[in-house]
Amino acid sequence: MFNSLGNILKLTTFGESHGLGIGGVIDGFPAGVEVDLDAVQKELDRRKPGQSKIVTQRKEPDTVEFFSGIFEGKTTGTSIGFVIKNTNQKSKDYNHNTNVYRPSHADFTYDKKYGIRDYRGGGRSSARETANWVVAGALAKQLIASINIDINAFTSSVGDIFMEKPYQDLDFSKTESNIVRCPDAESAEKMITRIQQIKKEGDTIGGTITCVAQNIPVGLGEPIFNKLHAALGQAMLSINAVKGFEFGSGFCGAKMKGSEHNDIFKADGTTESNLSGGVQGGISNGMDVYFRVAFKPVATIMQNQQTINSEGELTEIHGKGRHDPCVVPRAVPIVEALTALVLADFYLLNRTRKI
Amino acid sequence: MFNSLGNILKLTTFGESHGLGIGGVIDGFPAGVEVDLDAVQKELDRRKPGQSKIVTQRKEPDTVEFFSGIFEGKTTGTSIGFVIKNTNQKSKDYNHNTNVYRPSHADFTYDKKYGIRDYRGGGRSSARETANWVVAGALAKQLIASINIDINAFTSSVGDIFMEKPYQDLDFSKTESNIVRCPDAESAEKMITRIQQIKKEGDTIGGTITCVAQNIPVGLGEPIFNKLHAALGQAMLSINAVKGFEFGSGFCGAKMKGSEHNDIFKADGTTESNLSGGVQGGISNGMDVYFRVAFKPVATIMQNQQTINSEGELTEIHGKGRHDPCVVPRAVPIVEALTALVLADFYLLNRTRKI
Amino acid sequence: MFNSLGNILKLTTFGESHGLGIGGVIDGFPAGVEVDLDAVQKELDRRKPGQSKIVTQRKEPDTVEFFSGIFEGKTTGTSIGFVIKNTNQKSKDYNHNTNVYRPSHADFTYDKKYGIRDYRGGGRSSARETANWVVAGALAKQLIASINIDINAFTSSVGDIFMEKPYQDLDFSKTESNIVRCPDAESAEKMITRIQQIKKEGDTIGGTITCVAQNIPVGLGEPIFNKLHAALGQAMLSINAVKGFEFGSGFCGAKMKGSEHNDIFKADGTTESNLSGGVQGGISNGMDVYFRVAFKPVATIMQNQQTINSEGELTEIHGKGRHDPCVVPRAVPIVEALTALVLADFYLLNRTRKI
Amino acid sequence: MFNSLGNILKLTTFGESHGLGIGGVIDGFPAGVEVDLDAVQKELDRRKPGQSKIVTQRKEPDTVEFFSGIFEGKTTGTSIGFVIKNTNQKSKDYNHNTNVYRPSHADFTYDKKYGIRDYRGGGRSSARETANWVVAGALAKQLIASINIDINAFTSSVGDIFMEKPYQDLDFSKTESNIVRCPDAESAEKMITRIQQIKKEGDTIGGTITCVAQNIPVGLGEPIFNKLHAALGQAMLSINAVKGFEFGSGFCGAKMKGSEHNDIFKADGTTESNLSGGVQGGISNGMDVYFRVAFKPVATIMQNQQTINSEGELTEIHGKGRHDPCVVPRAVPIVEALTALVLADFYLLNRTRKI
């Protein structure tokens, strides 16, 4: 209800950025799946800090340890427990925040909601939590790879620099070939320059990620209150800094006419266009599922800002520590991980829907 | 999992457009709330077909009957069962769809997923289901009215006609003064003209709804996987025809810099700007919660379209029956209803979070 | 959480004995199951009041109406809504209870918990609710009949009259041949005499029901917190008046030695004895699942009893209305219904547990 | 659904007896509770192996490490992650079981259900899992101690040796004064002798535990499908080796007449007798909640038994390793822990039930 995602395949997580570590339990993972734990670690490495000059320079190894649920290289059907130890805690970086509320952070709301707050590194509101999701998502990817589902996310904009090509014209194998994770080299270069510039200003910048899931079988998604796109939206809106979600035609679709927007069937059941984004009535129709996620700029900036402390006194704050100038490059594997978790969950759920 | 929304306050629904009726169970509604059932019916009337010249001309009284959970004008804490009978079923309107898949509808996906489909009126995929949500939402509104929460949704665009004023400049009491439910009279007139024109073309048009929830106490929302905005997003994406959701700065926020986007605190804990949309770290901060929902154009158009039937043969379809040229005006109370359900649920949930 | 049973196959109910009616939503029922609605009504008739001289003489037709989820004789995979109207409400029978707490009833606890109570006929605490369960259970029976699961419950004791034969020696087809629903004619006669005698005294009597589920596939049940027997126990303990549950060797097993209790395997994977009750480690092993449920005597007796009213004043109460002298005969179909719901749910759940 | 217990306060666990360790996530624990972690460890020590001559002689330190959710001695409202490392794994003790199914164990059912099984030490079916419950339960105890709820379980029988005194005549402070955990010294001695004798025979013996929860506020428990006693029953039936559960009058109540069984009210709302076991209509009435749990004898015996292997061949097995001759003494803290978890959960849930 609070720290769990999913219906059948359910991830439950814990951890603050400055305790012993973070981790989680993956419940409902089916038995008999061969798992490649090196591939899990590789996904984690895609997310980790310090990987390039345009992300935070913190160094955290982020090594995952599996405690259970995997035996002789296969899942056993029992819950999979895992832990990622915290190893690079610089609590002193945060001492100045003990009772000062960082603007557009969760400090104020956590304090008011709970009456107590682990202020070190943002505590539970830290994006460090997303490492847990990447671990679980990496296993989910392996599960749905067995039915050939393929998920590719990439940076589609940084600030006002947009990669305008339709995703069909992209070579997803190029996504990892640059540090901003945009498969279009030309756009990538502009984005990287933009992020470096913003970093120099001590500022941060927003962006968007597009995700494309392919080879989805027809029938995933539960109509009414568990529509496939609604579950994806809920998952994406759970990522720190996300402000919007659209799938298929999205907000553009709201300007269109029905005669333009309808996806006309071909004889084989596929459609000529795919403004539906691969989902009709909440259920996948076999076409590509694609969506776009908006990330606001990171709230911690290296500039002076007015704020208040827990006593309600006005004060000033100036970002310290090592923060991302743009969250989007490191969020690409997070978007993929959550997509994999949702799709794997709906794949399992769908097994129960027909006699 | 399939037909339920909510954590503590949970709505579970049933019903197709052409069976005996639709209805639902509201579970977890607290005891002791005085309820005004006329007000519930009034909300239902805001959603009902045939209410104006720009919506479907079907006539359905949509009268709700409460079976349980309310005694002598108060809720008793037991589950509230309700039914809305189907009274204006014209199954013959749909006979031509028996095995023809309407483009961008749920016919194809339901058939493939379940192997069987009640084709009359769209069956379970019909937006008639949303009447259930309006009933439950109307009760939820009364529950949270006890802590003064106020919810106002309105039409903010139809096709390319946008109402550009910030919501702070609007008088929400004017929303019901025109049939398109836009509180700005000038924009409303343009929108109505646009819908009438599109209707004449036998076509349909998309649009957006903006919703503003005010007087929200600080602390609603559960971090990690039940963030307030993620739950609102999941609810909105459950509405038929919705393609996108953004809150606060939304997709615009993705173009901004941190120094522009951060909401600076005032001494009283409120913020100077509210690009956060009233939610920080998934938890309400006491500022207005506002968001925008994108609706695609209605798929049923009064024009010839190529399509296929269940045998995979190419055929043609031409919309019959009585359909909305634009779904947005009737969706305004639906957006409000789901917002009320989410907020009421999180209000109850929050009671358990602190000793 | 409050009015729902099940994981995948979930029943959610509503209704008081004196509102418009009772009913429920069956969610997660798979598509494509041919359903015999007359068979559902027949199960309901087994539970209904007034069916014999040893049960309450209230006359309620208890006719179920299905609103949705079934189309042309088959389930469609959408939620199944149903209603049983209340037709024989004699609220005046209960006027004397308006503010008097009946001993060992739920009047006092409901009032204290909710601060309000529908006192007519016990309101939500009335065993009338169990009619909902019988409807849902009857459909679940039809679902699992497709894999040949067979469920037979019967009265195994009334007061101190015990039917001592092992269930293997019984002919379950005889259960319906007498009004107490004990397949052993000799014991049945004694039980009936005992109930008639107790009724004459204006008193009531307890009893036990034994249930045997056969042809259960190996593998149903989820270890740790959803063990098959724990889910059955939870369901049985939900029935009004139930005080105990034991499966397999039960409380007798607690007196035994391991060398006596262990079920020795035969070469075919079946076991020589079945003290395990068909469940090992929470998972069915293919042997018969059997258990016993204890019912206390009905609390409403036709004798004077001291009690208090809502003002805390001492007063007297004397049962009026038409009540069962022994709840057990009418509870037999209820035990079967809940067993069917649990087994059907676990059957569906098990489909997700292995790749 | 598989490895979680609770509604609001939810424990999700993982771990096999021979992986890196076991652990869990406690979600929904309210913020602001002062926690005594030494007291948690003490509860764990009550459960640990090797503590006396009548339990298994395995030596496992069972030290719990908390990863999150506790800050400066108080809970923060975020999920509490914990781990108990496995330190005394003697996998070789189990090598002989690789593909041999131990009678009345979970080997056969796990293998058939999942197609794969971690055979070392019983894997996930090992009672080692219950250490997780004791950790979570110890924290739950501290939460409900804030409203003075007091929980005391004790051994009430071993084999055919019953402690016959009513619990009201016992001094619960004596429970820990002997190794069998029976507060009646005379019975305790007999029980200990019995267990020693059975151990000498290479056999095992069953028993029962009685649990009494006191100072429960009126109103805990959710009628219909989350009755207080049904949730307690479900929890108890989740413990390894449990075969039965009865509360209040239990199976004895099934022999009684209503005139004997009804609990007559006193003017203060308490009742003269308490055959209801503190629960009426599924809701606590303020009287003591008490119940009894039946444990079968441990299945691993130091004697030759016929069995089969995974190829379906007949073979023989002879228990090795270090096992409990009677599970009951070590299960006392487990019963208390689960009781605390259920009561804490219902306490939180009840906060949402009335406006």
∠A112-B350-A282 over CA atoms, to 5°?
Answer: 120
C113 interaction partners in chain D (CB closer than 8 Å) = 218-219, 283, 350, 353-354
Q: How far off is chain B from D223, nearest CA to CA, in Å?
A: 9
Query: Which of B8, B67, B94, B126 is the mutation pick for testing C, counting most C CBs within 10 A?
Result: B67
Cβ-defined contact of D116 to A77 (cutoff 8 Å)? yes
pLDDT of residue B98: 77
CA torsion D163→D168→D170→D171, rounded to 10°? 160
The amino acid present at C191, given as its one-letter code, is M
User: Structure pTM?
Assistant: 0.98
C266 interaction partners in chain D (CB closer than 8 Å) = 308
pLDDT of residue A95: 58
For B307-351, the pLDDT digits (tens) are 999 998 999 998 877 789 999 999 999 999 999 999 999 999 999
Task: Provide the number of CB pairs (under 8 Å) joining chain B to chain D.
Answer: 44
Q: How far off is chain C from D72, nearest CA to CA, in Å?
A: 32
B353 interaction partners in chain D (CB closer than 8 Å) = 30-31, 77
DSSP letter for A60, please: -
Is the Cβ–Cβ distance between C28 and B92 less than 8 Å? no
CA distance A152 to C85: 53
> Residue C353: which of A31, A79, A224 has the nearest Cβ?
A31
Cβ-defined contact of B125 to A223 (cutoff 8 Å)? yes
Kind plus residue range of the DSSP H or E element containing A135: helix A130-145
Task: Provide the number of CB pairs (under 8 Å) joining chain A to chain C.
Answer: 44
CA distance C58 to C248: 36
For C272-328, the pLDDT digits (tens) are 999 999 999 999 999 999 999 999 999 999 999 999 999 989 999 988 777 899 999
∠C9-C14-C17 over CA atoms, to 5°?
Answer: 135
Neighboring chains of D (3 or more beta-carbon pairs < 8 A):
A, B, C
CA A342 to chain CA mean position, Å: 12
Q: How far off is chain D from A85, nearest CA to CA, in Å?
A: 9
Q: Which of B168, B195, B166 is nearest to B179 (CA)?
A: B195
> Residue B354: which of D8, D32, D352 has the nearest Cβ?
D32
Residue D39, SS3?
helix
D8 interaction partners in chain B (CB closer than 8 Å) = 352
CA distance A253 to A262: 10
CA distance A251 to A269: 26
CA distance C15 to B315: 48
Cβ-defined contact of B16 to C123 (cutoff 8 Å)? no
Nearest CA in chain D to C310: D269
Q: What is the largest CA-CA distance in chain C?
A: 68
D300 interaction partners in chain C (CB closer than 8 Å) = 258
CA distance D77 to D75: 6
**What's the whole-number mean pLDDT along residues C24-50?**
96
Query: Which of C7, C8, C14 is the mutation pick for testing B, counting most B CBs within 10 A?
Result: C14
Q: Give the residue numbers in B contacting C (CB under 8 Å), as ranges.
A: 1-4, 8, 10, 12-16, 19-25, 27-28, 31-32, 65-69, 71, 74-81, 83, 113-118, 123-124
D78 interaction partners in chain B (CB closer than 8 Å) = 223
Is the Cβ–Cβ distance between C181 and C282 less than 8 Å? no
C69 interaction partners in chain B (CB closer than 8 Å) = 14, 16
pLDDT of residue D89: 64
Q: How far off is chain A from C6, nearest CA to CA, in Å?
A: 13
Q: Hey, what domains does chain C have and what are their CATH numbers? A: 4-351 (3.60.150.10)
CA distance D50 to A312: 55
Phi/psi region, residue D20 (left: phi>0; alpha: psi -120 to 50; beta: rest), is: alpha
Residue A224, SS3?
coil
Cβ-defined contact of B115 to C23 (cutoff 8 Å)? no
Query: Which of C16, C25, C68 is the mutation pick for testing B, counting most B CBs within 10 A?
Result: C68
DSSP letter for A215, please: S
pLDDT of residue B25: 98
**What's the whole-number mean pLDDT along residues A129-140?**
98
Query: Which of D67, D99, D349 is the mutation pick for testing A, counting most A CBs within 10 A?
Result: D67
**What's the whole-number mean pLDDT along residues B199-212?**
97
Cβ-defined contact of C76 to B117 (cutoff 8 Å)? yes
The amino acid present at B351, given as its one-letter code, is R
Question: What is the secondary structure of D289-330 as a DSSP string?
Answer: EEEEEEEPPPS--SSEEEEEBTTS-EEEEE--S---S-SHHH
C10 interaction partners in chain A (CB closer than 8 Å) = none
D143 interaction partners in chain B (CB closer than 8 Å) = 355
Residues paired with residue B242 on neighbouring β-strands, in sequence order = B295
pLDDT in tens, chain D (355 residues): 899 999 999 999 999 988 999 999 999 999 999 999 999 999 999 999 989 999 988 888 899 999 999 999 999 999 999 999 998 665 555 555 678 999 999 999 999 999 998 888 889 999 999 999 999 999 999 999 999 999 999 999 999 999 999 999 999 999 999 999 999 999 999 999 999 999 999 999 999 999 999 999 999 999 999 999 999 999 999 999 999 999 999 999 999 999 999 999 999 999 999 999 999 999 999 999 999 999 999 999 999 999 999 998 999 998 876 789 999 999 999 999 999 999 999 999 999 999 9
A265 interaction partners in chain B (CB closer than 8 Å) = 101, 103, 108, 306-308
CA distance A346 to A330: 26
Q: What is the CA radius of gyration of chain D?
A: 21
Q: Which of A124, A152, A126 is nearest to A14 (CA)?
A: A124
Neighboring chains of B (3 or more beta-carbon pairs < 8 A):
A, C, D
Cβ-defined contact of B14 to C118 (cutoff 8 Å)? no
Neighboring chains of C (3 or more beta-carbon pairs < 8 A):
A, B, D
User: What stretches of chain A adopt beta strand conformation (E)?
Assistant: 4-5, 10-15, 21-27, 64-66, 70-71, 74-75, 80-85, 150-158, 161-162, 207-214, 242-247, 279-280, 283-284, 289-295, 304-308, 314-318
pLDDT of residue D57: 87
